[in-house]
Amino acid sequence: MCVYRLIDSSVLFDTLFSLIGFGGATSFQAANIRTIHLLLRDAAKTQQQQQQQQQVQQQQQQQQQVQQQQQQQQVQQQQQTQQKQQQQNLQHPPQQQQQQQQQQQQQQQQQQQQQQQHISVNEETAALFVYKCV
């Protein structure tokens, strides 16, 4: 990876004009040096931007890792509490579970009754339909 160092333009042009003054560089060479300086400056800026983007991406990745770890810890805690509850339920079955089971049985019975009613209604409509077709 190339690392560009920003050169202060005043120092560069002081050196450039001293060369021109001594006859060491022509105006064409001065323009070339200025162009090179601008290119180097742009390259240094883009490199800084890329480094900043990489830092931001690294921070985001670290945040995602932290969030994943927190989620894993929460899942583990939930599993542990569920296991504890199951152990407690095995040792001392709570009354709430019995009530819930009774409620579930009642709901199942109601659903079965509703299904039977639908079946009888469907059978009646089918019979009526057959009767009308004949």
> By mean pLDDT, which of 16-20, 39-43, 93-97, 122-126 is the weakest?
122-126
* Sequence-distant (≥ 6) Cβ neighbours of residue 17 within 8 angstroms: 30
pLDDT value at residue 53? 93
30, with CB counted inside 10 A (0-12, 13-18, 19+), is middle
Query: Taking residues 17-23, what's their average pLDDT?
Result: 60
* Sequence-distant (≥ 6) Cβ neighbours of residue 47 within 8 angstroms: 2, 3, 4
Q: Could you tell me if residue 106 is inside a domain?
A: yes
Domain tally, the chain: 1
Residues 48/31, Cβ–Cβ less than 8 Å: no
Q: Could you tell me if residue 58 is inside a domain?
A: no
Please give the residue range of the domain that contains residue 113: 99-134
Q: Could you tell me if residue 18 is inside a domain?
A: no
pLDDT greater than 80 at residue 56: yes
pTM: 0.40
Helix, strand, coil percent values for the chain (each to nearest 5): 85, 0, 15
What does the pLDDT look like over 79-129, one tens digit per residue? 888 888 888 777 766 566 667 777 777 777 776 665 555 444 455 555 544
Q: Could you tell me if residue 109 is inside a domain?
A: yes
Query: Taking residues 29-46, what's their average pLDDT?
Result: 80
Q: Could you tell me if residue 110 is inside a domain?
A: yes
pLDDT value at residue 55? 92
C-alpha span between 24 and 108 (Å, rounded): 101
